[in-house]
Amino acid sequence: MPRNRYHHLGWLHGIELFEAAFSTQTFARHAHAGFAIGAITEGAGGYLCRGESMVLPAGSLSLMNPEEAHTGHAAAGRVRYDMLYASEEAVRAMLDLRKLRGFAEIAPQDRGRQLTRALAGLAACLNAAAPSRLAIEEAVHDVLAQAFAHYGGAGLRVPGREPAAIRALLERIAVGVAAGCDLGLSDLAAGVGLTPSYLIRSTRRATGLTPHGHVLRARVDHARRLLLAGTPAAEAAIAAGFCDQAHLIRQFRRHYGVTPGALIRH
């Protein structure tokens, strides 16, 4: 059975994610100091907010502005949802925004379930056997960008192709992976002269992958070279930045369609 989990990212502006799954729990009237961005994935949630009683079925979003007083309960036997909490300062820093309007509507329908998927993706990153900070940063950015661009009227800078910056990024990733460095989003962005938010969006637009996607690819390529040089798989996995051999095997299969054991030298 799913259970409540609460993730606190002290290293990332104190942003938090609440994975909620309950039937009898209730929340007395309260408010959050920052924004609360959630998606109902099962059942229905209930609120008393802005002077009216609301029922939020699966597929609904829950978008609260700072200090917005509300109650909370399961409105249909059981409810599951993912809720991200972020201060105004955190949102501005993550999205590089000067103007931040907030949300006009509390419970809109999720268009194409994009924000629901983004929140689920963040939860998956946080619950991974070996969580990657870079992957978590990108997942948080995805949630905030989806929420504020689509429902908060935020004007995010339109990403360009940035060929020089992308080349520099890929070079930094290749060198960092080979040297066994822990590659963080802020350092990668600063190294190529872009903000983290813009780097993610421009890299995805230009290459189809995020910076974390390129790091994974570089790690698999580095492991492949080590394997071809005769390095045992367990050693190659650690040298390439994977937490263990099983992690390498999964990524190797995704990239090459075979496990490292099927790599044959001639």
User: What is the gyration radius of the CA atoms in the chain, in angstroms?
Assistant: 21
Pairing of strands 61-64, 26-30: unpaired
Per-residue pLDDT of the chain (266 residues; tens, 9 = 90+): 467 999 999 999 999 999 999 999 999 999 999 999 999 999 999 999 988 899 999 999 999 999 999 999 999 888 999 999 999 999 999 999 988 999 999 999 998 999 999 999 999 999 998 899 999 999 999 999 999 999 999 999 999 889 999 999 999 999 999 999 989 999 999 999 999 999 999 999 999 999 999 999 999 999 999 999 999 999 999 999 999 999 999 999 999 999 999 999 98
Q: What is 5-132's CATH topology?
A: Jelly Rolls (2.60.120)
**pLDDT in the model for residue 147:** 97
- Domain extents in the chain: 5-132, 157-266
**pLDDT in the model for residue 51:** 87
Pairing of strands 15-22, 5-9: antiparallel
The pTM of the full predicted model, rounded to 2 decimals, is 0.93
Q: Can you tell me whether residue 199 is helix, strand or coil?
A: helix
CB 74 within 8 A of CB 46: yes
CATH code linked to domain 157-266: 1.10.10.60
Strands (DSSP E) found in the chain:
5-9, 15-22, 26-30, 35-49, 52-57, 61-64, 70-86
Report the alpha-carbon distance of residue 187 to residue 176 in Å, rounded.
11
